[in-house]
Amino acid sequence: MALTRRALGGLTIGGSAAAALSACGGGDGDGGGSGATELTWAIASSWDSWNLNTLNGNNSYCNQALTPMNPMGQTGFDFDPDANVVFDDALLAGEPELVSEEPMQIRYTLNENAQWSDGEPVRVEDFIFQWYSMSGNEEHANQEKAAPASIDWGSKVASIEQEDDGTILVTYIEGYIDPEWQYIDMVYLPSHLAEAEGFDWQNDPEAMGDAIQWFDKTAPTVGLGPFVPTDAKVGEYVVYEINENYQGSVTPTIEKLTVQVVEGTDAIVTELRQGSIAGAWATEYNEQELAKLEEDQTLENLVYEGSVWQHFDCNTNNEFLSDIELRRAVFTAIDVQDINDKVYPETGVERKGNHFFRPNSGYYTDYMGDAGLGLGDPDTARQILTDAGYTWDSDDKLLTPDGDQVVFNVRYAEGDVVRTTAAELAQSYLAAIGIDLELVAIPDGELSPVLQGADFDLVIFGWSGNAAFTVAPGQYFRSDSGSNFGKYSNPEADEAIDMVRSTYDIDEAAEFTNAVGEIVGPEAYTLPIFDEPQATVYNTNLVEGITANGYSQSGPIWNVREWKLK
């Protein structure tokens, strides 16, 4: 599924793409012939926050857990399996409209009945609350409390106001351009709840920071999506029932939906075979475990190219990895294709040489391979080190130009077979150039604090994305990005990142995006490994309407409003 102009240009208003294509659209029914009314869906790992806008809450598992209660794609849009953008008709009455290019202005026309699950109407204040949460502006919110996952969008907004006809007009700062202006944050959190809790968030930055933290720590009770939570425990489960005030065109039929954590693919397969869950997005693709599902014809295993890509990142503040030449040598020695062949011997996964595009994209260029990184060449790695003044002792241990032995760690998710194997292989590759690499596992649920605290030297983890690409360069590599966990900083890269959104032409934006990669790639901060194959597994006797979606960060649960029990 290549990322193309056609795919990116596909715009749909509806409960989902399926709703737009079918008159019934998952529509009204009794939940299936069996009379079943309840379903349990598994999430492969835990989470420790309720607010997706924050650094702590911005992760795939929290996103999945909250998808049933939130606007489509969490802020009002998502991508279908063909990379067409779909806008949530529970929120919008039509597609967003670009009404001005200078300054950039976007108009949103609300569904005249758009309302939260408690019956309160969607307001312009809800748009403003999202803006203040993500602006990075101390005048809007105490930034230590807000801890936004990204300020790329919010920092560029100049104003949000409601026009006389009820439409919402978002005006951006002079000179700002976004070629993907359709795919921009809209509404996520109910601002009226913050006011009910006594937070004067519009007038007091401290109160706004407190409101953000309140949403971060408080289990949700009100949403805009097809379901509303009735019980929840952070990192463990959310129990949903149908949102009786839902205004979308697709009427959900599952009367009770439980989303709960089942750690790891092996446990997911076991629970699925025992019938205790209806299905899951097995984000850790484990060939051996998934093969067990072939023994039962009622169990479906949808394998597809997903939205998660794995990579090694360096902590550029580490006493050794602060040296770019050492980083280049490390990434030169690591053999990415060998990792792929060993962790996926049956699937056949291609080495990834680009941070932003998949190998089958028309925009893909292998600038990492061109730089000799990830190709497993210890001889060249040793030459890089020699040229930089490094030496080796009598035991072939690498020494800095000052004579210190080079030792650092690699961190990876405990229990994740793929990441553990990749880390162990990295240890062997670096041993070949005289580096002692210490293996230090990350306990389940602690990835976010490890990344935010830069509690790693080398780390392997995954980014989850979608069909849009112009936000990614800033999130990954901009010196002031909260998601730049290894503290990479290069003024030339920052300037190149600014160019990505200097045009309304999507092809030109893609060229600028690859230009960023041409700069950051050879500096050996992030080494792409592969676009991780994904598996959506489910019991066909229990539920129908499941689709594999490699372009949504919600994975298969992206169209949960259309699911039916059997």
DSSP string, 158-192: EEEEE-TTS-EEEEEPTT---TTTTS-----S-HH
Residue 8 has pLDDT above 70, yes or no: no
Structure tokens of 514? 């690859």
Q: What is the mean pLDDT of residues 404-417?
A: 94
Residue 26 has pLDDT above 90, yes or no: no
Task: Provide the percentage of residues in the chain whose pLDDT is more than 70.
Answer: 94
For 272-320, how does the pLDDT look when each residue is reduced to its tens digit (9 = 90+)?
999 999 999 998 888 889 999 999 999 999 998 877 899 999 999 999 9
**0.85 surpassed by pTM:** no
Taking the domains of the chain in order of start, what are their residue ranges?
Answer: 5-262+540-565, 308-532
Question: Before 71, cis peptide (omega within 30)?
Answer: no
Closest alpha carbon to 422 in 410, 438, 436: 410
Q: What is the mean pLDDT of the chain?
A: 91
pLDDT at res. 445: 77
270 membership: H or E segment, kind and range: helix 264-274
| pLDDT interval class at 254 (50, 70, 90) | very high
Yes or no: say if 140 and 132 are a contact pair by the CB < 8 Å rule: yes
The third-level CATH classification (topology) of the domain covering 5-262+540-565 is Dipeptide-binding Protein; domain 1 (3.90.76)
CA atoms within 13 A on the CB side of 212: 31
Query: Is residue 380 within 8 Å of 390, Cβ to Cβ?
Result: no
Packing angle of the helix pair 417-431, 324-333 (nearest 10 deg): 110
Q: Which two tokens stand for residue 561?
A: 């409003």
Considering only CA atoms, which of 64, 226, 324 is closest in space to residue 562?
A: 226
Class of the domain covering 308-532: alpha beta
Q: In this model, does residue 14 exceed pLDDT 70?
A: no
CA distances from residue 172 to 282, 295, 352, 363 in whole angstroms, order as listed? 39, 56, 35, 28
Indicate the burial class of 362 (C-beta count within 10 angstroms; 0-12, 13-18, 19 or more): exposed
In the block, tokens 């190998």 appear at 359
